[in-house]
Copies of this chain bind each other. A is one copy, B any other.
Amino acid sequence: MISKLLARNKTNLLYGACLGALVFLLNWLELRFVIFEHSFEIYAGAIAIIFTSLGIWLAIKLTKPKVETVVVEKYLYTDPAIPFVLNEKALEDLGMSKRELEVLQLMAEGLSNQEIARQLFVSLNTIKTHSSKIFEKMDVQRRTQAVEKAKRIGLIP
């Protein structure tokens, strides 16, 4: 808080100093004008330059900085190195349950729903429900898409 106040006073002091310097400069220039009668244009030009600068400075100091939001899509490449490491982050992001992942793995092996059901000792309808949930969570329509995506993001070897 104190530092803020100091910073504000600092700016004020700086501004005052600049103003003072400016007045001195103007007086000096006026004196020159009196002495050299034909230097009015130079004086006007100096004023123009100085006050243009002042305007720029003021604008920079007093306006809120423009903020432009840029959305950058960061593509996450998964390393297909031989030792497969399950992408747990993706798994959690998608909200996949253990059972669903299990079904997904068997799907990737090319098993039919009926075969998966038999292998997991559950009914065909259960596998259908699981696969529906999988497709929903993975945002795909077909098992082939699910498998392709699963391999891509490291849910499956």
Contacts and interface: CB of A to CB of B under 8 A. Distances in A.
Contact of A110 (B54, B55, B142): B142
A30 B23 CA distance: 28
Interface in A67-99: 67-80, 82, 90
A68 B67 CA distance: 5
A143 B151 CA distance: 16
B68 A68 contact: yes
Q: Which size class do A's interface residues fall under? A: 35 or more
B55 A57 contact: yes
A148 interface: yes
A37 interface: no
Given A55-B55, A110-B140, A110-B148, A71 B70 contact: yes
A106 to B, nearest CB: 10
A56 interface: yes
Contact of A47 (B47, B63, B64, B67): B47
Contacts of A82: 80
A66 interface: yes
B69 A66 contact: no
18 contacts: A44-B44, A48-B50, A55-B55, A55-B57, A56-B58, A57-B59, A66-B66, A69-B70, A70-B70, A70-B71, A73-B76, A75-B75, A77-B78, A77-B80, A109-B148, A110-B145, A110-B149, A147-B148
Interface of A: 43-44, 47-60, 63-80, 82, 90, 107-112, 140-149, 151-154
